[in-house]
A and B are shown apart, each in its own frame.
Chain A
Amino acid sequence: KAGVTQTPRYLIKTRGQQVTLSCSPISGHRSVSWYQQTPGQGLQFLFEYFSETQRNKGNFPGRFSGRQFSNSRSEMNVSTLELGDSALYLCASTHTDTQYFGPGTRLTVL
């Protein structure tokens, strides 16, 4: 089976812009989670989607949002970008408690 794929792999944006990141989970996996990884804060949970519904949400501002489509693909959106949003954004698909991570999208905000 193909692994979790994330697009784009790299992204450069300026403050105030918005960005959309995409994630395709492993075939058959219905749960998708998103995490932010930064040197200062480490790996932090953003949100989880299951069958197109947000099931859990981490402690992030409302500028961070997501959605899941009927084919389990997921997108996350960050509006009004801030410098501190520069991070590696990781998507994971879950099967029987195990989360399989994609390679991430490296977002740089200038």
Chain B
Amino acid sequence: QQQVKQSPQSLIVQKGGISIINCAYENTAFDYFPWYQQFPGKGPALLIAIRPDVSEKKEGRFTISFNKSAKQFSLHIMDSQPGDSATYFCAAATWGNMLTFGGGTRLMVKP
């Protein structure tokens, strides 16, 4: 049972544009929602995370929007750069453990 659905699977954005990746979850017990960035040959690296008590969190060019009633959250990458080209994973967990990952989005930012 896939508890976290992520879309799109792949995304091509022009340099300077906005990249938007969406995730939906089913388990209402989830209370921690991180986003990870993974480059080829590397492990996932935490980008930004949010808890359900806030609707938005921004760190630099990265913003998470969270809609608790719709059980959806999204990652926005502003002013996308070629260096942002990577695979992005959303995840959900209770108490920060046992991360359930979305299927991943391969982002390509064209110069």
Residues of A within 8 A of B (CB): 4, 31, 33, 35, 42-45, 48, 55-56, 58, 90, 92, 94, 96-104
A42 touches B43 (CB 8 A): no
Complex CA gap A80/B17 in Å reads 49
| Residues of B43-76 contacting chain A, CB below 8 A | 43-46, 49
| 9-residue interface stretch from B21-29, B78-86, B99-107 | B99-107
B46 touches A48 (CB 8 A): no
Complex CA gap A102/B43 in Å reads 5
Main secondary structure of the interface of A (DSSP, over half): strand
| Number of residues of chain B lying within 8 A (CB) of chain A | 23
**Given A42-B101, A42-B104, A43-B101, do A101 and B96 touch, yes or no (CB 8 Å)?**
no
B49 touches A56 (CB 8 A): no
- Which one of A56, A90, A97 contacts B43 once the chains associate, using CB atoms below 8 Å? A90
B89 touches A56 (CB 8 A): no
21 A-B interface contacts by CB (under 8 A): A4-B43, A42-B104, A43-B89, A43-B99, A44-B101, A45-B98, A56-B98, A58-B98, A92-B43, A96-B96, A97-B32, A97-B49, A98-B46, A98-B49, A99-B34, A101-B36, A101-B43, A101-B44, A101-B45, A103-B41, A103-B42
